[in-house]
């Protein structure tokens, strides 16, 4: 009788002590549930390695497969939203990626950005900041939000076709967001949206985010208040105004409260924007982390805001 008893004791020790410790170590290996600028930067590097990623290209399809894989690893439910866009150079097949993280409430907060890069025939444009940073940011947010219990349901949306195929106009730009607003409206899901938070070009080493006059004022107020509270008033310039056309505009036009967090001051006199200089070495993990911390604080504010329900 002694031996089996000992064996039982060993098994008990294994179950009670060793297994939980191993599990805890495994969870720790994934890192704490706070926004890691370095991890987001690594994702950006991975996306840049696919090369230029214009709509309809094989490299964009490859990066889409990689993004979806990362989202599934983060525990998200992932939908693809394919459509054919009429562009000045003919029809192009585009695909939005939508990751869902269910919360206690069916009301939705959308976090969004674009993952396409602008088509150029004369330069090699890899869009580290413009297209890379937004997608990398969303992947890192998926990792955090997927590991905690959330009050609201989150949709993490990676827009295709944000950039103009030729020259920016009402019909040659924002293909993915214009399509998704129509689809959500037709499906009756647009009314579930309480807020949309868009990020674009947020990895510039020299971060300066201005107040976007096209965004919904109460959301901007919450953003800059959160930035001030965290000590980032040198990066979030609440007194400097700008007005940006970006993927939030179709949502604003449809009556959804929306906010664009964008740094359109990239290099001397914005000269790195839409140029071959939009590369990893102009970006920093610190900038991504600052935006990550501020957005995390903003989400907390939204959890307590009487404006949403
Ligand atoms: Zn752009």
CA of 275 to the centre of ligand 1 (A): 10
Q: What is the largest CA-CA distance in the chain?
A: 84
- In the predicted model, what is the mean pLDDT of residues 207-221? 97
CA of 193 to the centre of ligand 1 (A): 26
CB-based contact 210:240 (threshold 8 Å): yes
- In the predicted model, what is the mean pLDDT of residues 209-229? 98
* Pairing, β 258-262 against β 193-200: parallel
Q: What CA–CA distance (Å, rounded) separates 168 from 154?
A: 30
The rounded percent of the chain whose pLDDT value lies above 70 is 90
CB-based contact 33:75 (threshold 8 Å): no
Q: Is the pLDDT of residue 161 over 60?
A: yes
**204: which 2 tokens?**
């510039």
CA of 296 to the centre of ligand 1 (A): 24
Question: How would residue 168 be classed by pLDDT, with cut points 50, 70 and 90?
Answer: very high
Domains detected in the chain: 3-26+33-303 (3.40.630.10)
The pLDDT of residue 11 is 45
Helix-helix angle 285-304:37-48, to 10 degrees: 120
Question: How would residue 307 be classed by pLDDT, with cut points 50, 70 and 90?
Answer: confident
**102: which 2 tokens?**
């269910």
CA of 53 to the centre of ligand 1 (A): 12
CA of 271 to the centre of ligand 1 (A): 12
Question: How would residue 2 be classed by pLDDT, with cut points 50, 70 and 90?
Answer: very low
| CA-based nearest residue to 140, from 76, 189, 88, 80 | 76
CA of 163 to the centre of ligand 1 (A): 6
CA of 274 to the centre of ligand 1 (A): 6
Residues 6 or more apart whose Cβ sits within 8 Å of residue 159: 96, 112, 113, 114, 115, 116, 174, 176, 177, 180, 247
For the stretch 226-272, pLDDT in tens is: 999 999 999 999 999 999 999 999 999 999 999 999 999 999 999 99
CA of 227 to the centre of ligand 1 (A): 24
């Amino acid at each position: 009788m002694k031996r089996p008893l000992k064996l039982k004791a060993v098994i008990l020790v294994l179950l009670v002590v060793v297994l939980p410790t191993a599990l805890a170590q495994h969870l720790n290996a994934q890192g704490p549930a706070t926004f890691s600028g370095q991890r987001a930067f690594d994702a950006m590097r991975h996306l840049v390695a696919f090369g230029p990623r214009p709509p309809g290209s094989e490299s964009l399809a490859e990066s889409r497969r990689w993004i979806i894989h990362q989202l599934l690893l983060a525990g998200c439910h992932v939908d693809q939203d394919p459509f054919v866009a009429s562009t000045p150079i003919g029809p192009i097949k585009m695909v939005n990626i939508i990751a869902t993280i269910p919360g206690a409430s069916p009301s939705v907060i959308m976090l969004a950005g674009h993952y396409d890069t602008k088509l150029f025939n004369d330069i090699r444009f890899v869009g580290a900041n413009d297209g890379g940073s937004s997608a990398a940011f969303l992947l890192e947010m998926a990792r955090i939000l997927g590991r905690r219990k959330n009050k609201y349901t989150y949709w993490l949306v990676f827009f295709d076709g944000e950039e103009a195929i030729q020259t920016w106009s009402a019909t040659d730009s924002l293909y993915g967001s214009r399509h998704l607003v129509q689809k959500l409206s037709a499906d009756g899901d647009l009314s579930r949206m309480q807020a949309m938070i868009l990020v674009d070009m947020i990895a510039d080493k020299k971060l300066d985010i201005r107040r976007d006059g096209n965004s919904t004022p109460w959301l901007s107020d919450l953003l800059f208040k959160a930035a001030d509270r965290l000590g980032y008033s040198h990066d979030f310039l609440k007194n400097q105004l700008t007005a940006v056309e970006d993927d939030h505009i179709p949502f604003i036009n449809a009556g959804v409260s929306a906010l664009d967090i964008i740094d359109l001051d990239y290099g001397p006199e914005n000269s790195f924007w839409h140029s071959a200089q939009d590369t990893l070495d102009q970006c920093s993990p610190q900038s991504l982390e600052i935006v990550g911390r501020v957005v995390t604080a903003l989400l907390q504010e939204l959890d307590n805001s009487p404006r949403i329900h």
